[in-house]
Amino acid sequence: MAIKNLLKTWALPDRTQDRQQLTLRLNYDLYAKLHALKAVYPNRPVNDMINDILKSGLDEIIEALPSRSLSVEEADCEGFLDGYGKPLEGIAMGPRIDFEQAYKNILEAKSEEKTNEEAA
C-alpha cells in the first residue's frame, strides 16, 4: 500500500486481523508524531498506524532487494533448489529469493503451529 493511501485507509473503521505482539522502543519524536496522527485520525488505533507504516516501508525495501528474476517457486520448478528449499551449489539466488524463502518458512511454521493447536 502506498503511503498516500494510508490516509484514506485510516479514515475507515478499525479492522482486526491475526496479530503477533511486538514491543518497540521509539524515540520521543516518533512517539509524538504517531499520537499527533492519532489526533487527526481518532478512529484508527496507533498500533494499526504503526502496522500500516511498517508494511508500506517493508514492501518498498523488499521491492528494492536485488535478486535474479526467479521467484522461489520458479527456481524450484526449474530445478535450482534442493529438496530442502536451498539453492543448489553454484546458484546465486540473491537477497530477495532468500527473503522469500525465509518468509515462506515462517508462514509454514505458523500454519503448522495452528494445525497442532487445533488437533489438541
Q: Looking at the domain assignment, is residue 14 inside a domain?
A: no
Q: Which amino acid is at 27?
A: N
C-alpha cell at 111: 500454519
Q: What is the pLDDT of residue 61?
A: 86
Q: What is the pLDDT of residue 75?
A: 60
Asked whether residue 72 falls in the same domain as residue 117, the answer is: yes
Q: What is the pLDDT of residue 68?
A: 55
- Three-point CA angle 103, 88, 80, nearest 5°: 75
Q: Looking at the domain assignment, is residue 104 inside a domain?
A: yes
Asked whether residue 71 falls in the same domain as residue 60, the answer is: no
pLDDT, tens only, 68-119: 555 556 665 656 667 777 666 555 566 776 787 788 888 888 888 888 888 7
Q: What is the Cα–Cα distance from 60 to 95, expressed in whole angstroms?
A: 14
Q: Report whether 45 contacts 53 (CB < 8 A).
A: no
* Angstrom distances, CA of residue 53 to CA of 2, 5, 72, 78: 9, 11, 26, 36
Asked whether residue 55 falls in the same domain as residue 73, the answer is: no
Q: What is the pLDDT of residue 38?
A: 93
Asked whether residue 36 falls in the same domain as residue 59, the answer is: yes
Q: What is the Cα–Cα distance from 56 to 1, expressed in whole angstroms?
A: 6
> How many structural domains comprise the chain?
2
Asked whether residue 89 falls in the same domain as residue 112, the answer is: yes
Asked whether residue 101 falls in the same domain as residue 56, the answer is: no
Q: Which amino acid is at 22?
A: L
Asked whether residue 70 falls in the same domain as residue 114, the answer is: yes
Q: What domain range includes position 39?
A: 1-7+21-64
Residue 99 burial (CB count, 10 A): 15
Q: What is the pLDDT of residue 92?
A: 57
pLDDT, tens only, 8-52: 777 776 666 677 888 889 999 999 999 999 999 998 889 989 988
Averaged pLDDT for residues 54-60: 89
